[in-house]
């Protein structure tokens, strides 16, 4: 889902405490986040999120009495040369929009399957009526925004499969998952939140949890963290169903995705039906796909 990201005016207002060096550091960090967002789109060969500012943005006092336009384009500036350049980068990569701050907040409150809106922030701000995942300071916040709304609005199996490939940078998904998602007991709509939660933890935490541990022990510990049962396949008769051929840069490997996450409950209030869904994966190989986790199947129990 393509998001419209707005440079949050309120977050650029000087907070009365930061030194000029800290302001400079924050500018460079935000520029780095925007660069990584655009890099992710290029690597995934997909349309990139659009970035906007409104007409009030340039006059914001970002440090004491110094406005954004003065610091970015003035002849004499108080920030270092890199920060000045990066602030210019942030402005040049954004388009001027007609929406004011209140209208942008209304757009965020109406996020849905057809439209996603977030705020790119320099300083931490609190707007109680807006969900926390809409405030983006660094790249992990951007991943959180997209993951959260994909969990809520999976749309359909094809869309869901294309989207998960963009927002889990430590995971390689086998092409067959596009079809295995159709085998989910209860359907994708019931399990999208559970799947995104499990993939997020798998992407962000599994390698650090598993380091130096036996795989079976790591899976038990991981299961406690995500609130789902995780184990190795104990029915050796099913091993042939867990074999997947992964390809990367012309190289292919046959992988047994024996570790799995059991999705036995959909998590919807009042639905106590026992389901038998699984995420089958391999923890990754150091000499293949950069050691990324390889997910072979998301769907019904194999």
106-127 pLDDT, tens digit per residue, is: 999 999 888 899 999 999 999 9
Q: Is residue 41 classed as helix, strand or coil in its secondary structure? A: helix
- Reference 276, options 246, 240, 301; nearest CA is 301
Is the pLDDT at 81 greater than 90? The verdict is no
Q: How far apart are CA 161 and CA 86, in angstroms?
A: 35
Quote the tokens at residue 102: 């209140």
Give the bridge partners for 281, in sequence order.
295
- Reference 120, options 152, 97, 150; nearest CA is 97
Q: How far apart are CA 241 and CA 113, in angstroms?
A: 34
Is the pLDDT at 237 greater than 70? The verdict is no
Mean pLDDT of the chain: 93
Model confidence at 47, pLDDT cuts 50, 70, 90, reads: confident
User: CB count, 10 Å around CB of 21?
Assistant: 11
Q: How far apart are CA 244 and CA 248, in angstroms?
A: 13
273-284 pLDDT, tens digit per residue, is: 999 999 999 999
What pLDDT is stored for residue 76 in this prediction?
67
């Amino acid at each position: 889902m393509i998001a419209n990201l707005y440079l949050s005016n309120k977050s650029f207002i000087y907070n009365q405490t930061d030194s000029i060096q800290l302001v400079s550091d924050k500018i460079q960090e935000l520029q780095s986040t925007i660069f990584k967002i655009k890099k992710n789109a290029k690597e995934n060969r997909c349309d990139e999120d659009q970035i906007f500012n409104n007409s009030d943005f340039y006059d914001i006092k970002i440090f004491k009495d110094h406005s954004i336009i003065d610091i970015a384009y003035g002849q004499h500036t108080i920030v270092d040369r890199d920060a000045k350049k990066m602030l210019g980068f942030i402005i040049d990569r954004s388009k001027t929009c007609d929406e004011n701050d209140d209208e942008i907040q209304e757009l965020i409150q109406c996020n849905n399957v057809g439209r996603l809106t977030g705020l790119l922030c320099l300083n931490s701000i609190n707007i109680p009526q807006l969900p926390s995942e809409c405030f983006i300071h660094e790249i992990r916040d951007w991943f959180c925004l997209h993951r959260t709304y994909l969990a809520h609005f999976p749309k359909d199996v094809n869309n869901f499969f294309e989207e998960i490939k963009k927002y889990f940078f430590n995971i390689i998904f086998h092409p067959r998952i596009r079809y295995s998602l159709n085998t989910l007991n209860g359907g994708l709509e019931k399990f999208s939140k559970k799947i995104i939660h499990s993939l997020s933890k798998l992407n962000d935490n599994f390698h650090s949890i598993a380091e130096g541990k036996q795989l079976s022990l790591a899976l038990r510990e991981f299961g406690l963290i995500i609130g789902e049962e995780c184990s190795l396949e104990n029915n050796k008769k099913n091993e042939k169903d867990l074999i997947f051929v992964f390809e990367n840069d012309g190289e292919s490997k046959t992988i047994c995705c024996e570790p799995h996450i059991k999705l036995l409950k959909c998590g919807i209030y009042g639905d106590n039906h026992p389901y038998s869904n699984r995420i089958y994966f391999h923890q990754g190989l150091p000499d293949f796909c950069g050691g990324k986790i390889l997910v072979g199947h998301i769907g019904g129990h194999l």
